[in-house]
């Protein structure tokens, strides 16, 4: 794919205040893992904390060179929120062996790298690390929740001219990351389209709802009442798929799944602030019996009217199956033609 003589596109990966889950997700990329999947597009890991041989002094030298611009970095991938506390010192995460906070390393290398990617919603927006109750001063690279700022500031542009590329998700689909890095490695950075919150439009132009396997239940508002029910998860169980950016149900996760196919609610993990929904994650807040979180671009009155209409038209098959964990009533079949 990449020209055989082209120098490899170098990717440096840092784990800030993270759980490591974005790396774990990426490790299953295309069923061969991040390293091989990237290699197919001429991209190479310069260093990754979980995958590289270099440890200790050798790794530190590499990072110092990257921070000083002596070692070119095409893409800096940061996983995890940047912890700025306590009191702005960054001491909640020191990069081991360096005597300096991780915030220093992220910022120094981001100011040298051609492109900067926030891998996952923590690095993008603060995410779960910045949840209510956290006292670590966690911020995203260029945002805190939905507000521009973060570690690098709203005006930040990397050497390649782009703001931080927010490969959001908790954890993001490995394809979102791989396809973004591949496009950059192929020299298509200039045409990489981002939405208003820095997410690649390739996945963010869709909603998690699109292609959901429960669509028939959604159409008829035949709703699940408890975990493992096959019905639509939106009315009672807190599903945010009609609002959450992502092609989650247009592609498969780990070959066979997605959140809603796995039987549980979409928590909107690609959205800034998803970690504090203001209500329990698996309950739909309602006003006068009507869910408050309706699709964003649909007039509420119409939605309510259509829902009432479709509920009254629900076939018994759909109604029954919505409250079971397997098909109780199969679809009707045309009787075979008599000869």
Partner 1 sequence: MTAPPRLPAPTRLILGPFNRVEGDLEVTLDVSEGVVQAAQVTAPLFRGFETILAGRAPADALVVAPRVCGICSVSQSAAAAGALARLAGIEAPPNGRLAADLVLACENLADHVTHFALFFMPDFARAAYAGRPWHATVRERYAAGRGRSQQRLVAARARLLHLLGLLAGKWPHSLALQPGGTTRAVDGGERIRLMGILAEFRECLEEVLFAGPLDEVAALDSPAALARWADAAPDSRGDFRLFLAIARDLELDRLGRGPAAFLSHGGFGLWPAGTLMDGIGGPLDTAQMREDPAHSWMAGPPAHPADGTTVPDADKPGAYSWCKAPRLAGRPAEVGALARHAVAGDPLARGLVGNGGGSVRDRVVMRLVEAARLLIAMEGWVRRLTPGEPFCHDAPLPEDGAAAGLVEAARGALGHWLTVRRGVIHNYQIVAPTTWNFSPRDQDGQPGPLEQALAGTPVQPGEDTPLAVQHVVRSFDPCMACTVH
The distance of closest approach from Cβ of residue 256 to partner 1 in the complex, given in angstroms and rounded to an integer, is 4
The distance of closest approach from Cβ of residue 104 to partner 1 in the complex, given in angstroms and rounded to an integer, is 13
**256 vs 288, which CB is nearer to partner 1?**
256
**140 vs 189, which CB is nearer to partner 1?**
140
The distance of closest approach from Cβ of residue 154 to partner 1 in the complex, given in angstroms and rounded to an integer, is 25
- CA–CA dist 54, 253 (Å, integer): 31
The distance of closest approach from Cβ of residue 36 to partner 1 in the complex, given in angstroms and rounded to an integer, is 6
**89 vs 306, which CB is nearer to partner 1?**
89
**28 vs 304, which CB is nearer to partner 1?**
28
- CB 11 within 8 Å of CB 43: yes
* DSSP string of 23-87, one letter each residue: HHHHTTGGGT-HHHHHHTTTEEEEE-TTT-S--HHHHHHHHHHHHTTSS--SEEEEESBEE--ST
**11 vs 162, which CB is nearer to partner 1?**
11
Token look-up 């440096």 returns 12
CB atoms within 10 A of CB 132: 7
- CA–CA dist 113, 298 (Å, integer): 41
Using CA atoms, how far residue 146 sits from 139, 142, 214, 267, 273, in Å, is 11, 10, 30, 16, 7
The distance of closest approach from Cβ of residue 233 to partner 1 in the complex, given in angstroms and rounded to an integer, is 10
The distance of closest approach from Cβ of residue 14 to partner 1 in the complex, given in angstroms and rounded to an integer, is 9
* DSSP string of 265-294, one letter each residue: ----TTSTTTT--SS-TTS--EETTEES--
**131 vs 183, which CB is nearer to partner 1?**
131
- Pairing of the two strands 115-119 and 165-167: parallel
The distance of closest approach from Cβ of residue 162 to partner 1 in the complex, given in angstroms and rounded to an integer, is 26
**23 vs 112, which CB is nearer to partner 1?**
23
Burial category of 5 from C-beta neighbours within 10 Å (exposed 0-12, middle 13-18, buried 19 and up): exposed
The distance of closest approach from Cβ of residue 157 to partner 1 in the complex, given in angstroms and rounded to an integer, is 28
Token look-up 């390649």 returns 160
DSSP bridge partners of 43: 9
**86 vs 153, which CB is nearer to partner 1?**
86
Nearest CA to 137 out of 16, 270, 280, 272 is that of: 16
CB atoms within 10 A of CB 19: 17
């Amino acid at each position: 794919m990449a020209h055989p003589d082209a120098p490899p596109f170098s990717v440096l990966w840092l784990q800030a205040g993270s759980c490591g889950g974005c790396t774990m997700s990426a490790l299953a990329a295309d069923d061969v893992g991040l390293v091989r999947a990237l290699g197919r597009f001429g991209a190479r890991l310069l260093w990754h904390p979980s995958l590289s041989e270099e440890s200790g002094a050798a790794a530190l030298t590499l990072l110092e060179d990257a921070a000083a611009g002596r070692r070119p970095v095409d893409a800096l991938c940061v996983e995890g929120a940047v912890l700025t506390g306590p009191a702005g010192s960054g001491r909640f995460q020191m990069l081991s062996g360096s005597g300096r906070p991780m915030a220093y390393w992220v910022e120094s290398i981001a100011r040298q790298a051609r492109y900067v990617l926030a891998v996952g919603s923590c690095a993008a927006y603060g995410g779960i690390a910045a949840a209510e109750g956290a006292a670590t001063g966690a911020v995203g690279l260029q945002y805190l929740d939905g507000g521009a700022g973060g570690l690098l500031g709203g005006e930040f542009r990397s050497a390649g001219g782009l703001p931080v590329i927010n490969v959001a998700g908790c954890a993001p689909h490995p394809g979102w990351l791989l396809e973004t890095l591949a496009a950059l490695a192929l020299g298509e950075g200039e045409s990489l389209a981002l939405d208003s919150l820095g997410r690649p439009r390739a996945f963010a132009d869709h909603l998690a709802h699109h292609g959901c396997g429960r669509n028939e239940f959604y159409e008829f508002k035949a709703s699940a009442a408890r975990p493992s029910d096959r019905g639509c998860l939106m009315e009672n169980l807190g599903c945010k798929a009609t609002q959450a950016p992502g092609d989650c149900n247009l592609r498969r996760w780990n070959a066979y799944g997605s959140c809603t196919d796995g039987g549980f609610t979409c928590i909107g993990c690609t959205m800034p602030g998803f970690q504090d929904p203001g209500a329990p994650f698996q309950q739909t807040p309602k006003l006068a019996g009507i869910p408050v979180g309706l699709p964003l671009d649909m007039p509420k009155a119409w939605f309510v009217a259509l829902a009432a209409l479709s509920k009254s038209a629900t076939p018994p098959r759909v109604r029954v199956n919505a409250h079971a964990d397997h098909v109780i009533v199969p679809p009707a079949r045309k009787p075979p033609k008599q000869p």
